Amino acid sequence: MSLGGIGNLDYTVILCSRMAETRAFYRDIMQFPIEVDLENWVSFRVGAALLALRPRGVWSVCDDGKALPGSAAVQLAFRVAPPAVDACHAELVAKGVPILREPTDLPNWRHRTLFFRDPEDTIIEIYAEY
């Protein structure tokens, strides 16, 4: 097998400066079930994949360095059914989550999207294809 034969992205890790707040965000706001919950590693089940959190700093292979305030290193996109975009928006607003862009139709992409951030400034998109 070669690199081109890789067929799955099994997990994504968010490097955290605010581990407790980010853990609470994905557990309480996003309501993702916790798969593993350790002091320096928390993973959440999202469909067939895992979304993991770990503290920034020296890890097994390198020093992650410091994040620049307000800068995102990744954008996470979660696909939902078309009516769910507006329902998710209402739920996020009710929970006090600041919204970057309210539900918007993007005809060129055939998407309806909603954008917000987690406590680490990760950009999160909830979208539906239409």
Q: What's the pLDDT tens digit per position in 6-55?
A: 888 899 999 999 999 999 999 999 999 999 999 999 999 999 999 999 99
**Nearest-angstrom CA–CA distance, 42 and 22:** 10
User: Which two structure tokens, joined as six digits, stand for 127?
Assistant: 């979208």
pTM: 0.89
What's residue 60's pLDDT? 67
Specify the higher pLDDT residue, 64 or 79: 79
- Do the domains 67-130 and 10-57 match in fold? yes
Quick one: CATH architecture of 10-57?
Roll (3.10)
Q: Parallel, antiparallel, or unpaired for β 49-55 and 11-16?
A: parallel
Say how far apart CA 49 and CA 28 lie, in whole Å. Answer: 19
CATH of 67-130 among 3.40.50.620, 3.10.180.10, 1.20.120.400, 3.50.30.40: 3.10.180.10
Q: Where are the domains of the chain?
A: 10-57, 67-130
Reduce the DSSP state of residue 125 to 3 states and report it: strand
Q: Do β-strands 75-79 and 34-38 pair in parallel, antiparallel, or remain unpaired?
A: unpaired
User: Which residue carries 């929970």 as its tokens?
Assistant: 95
Neighbours of 53 (CB within 10 A): 23
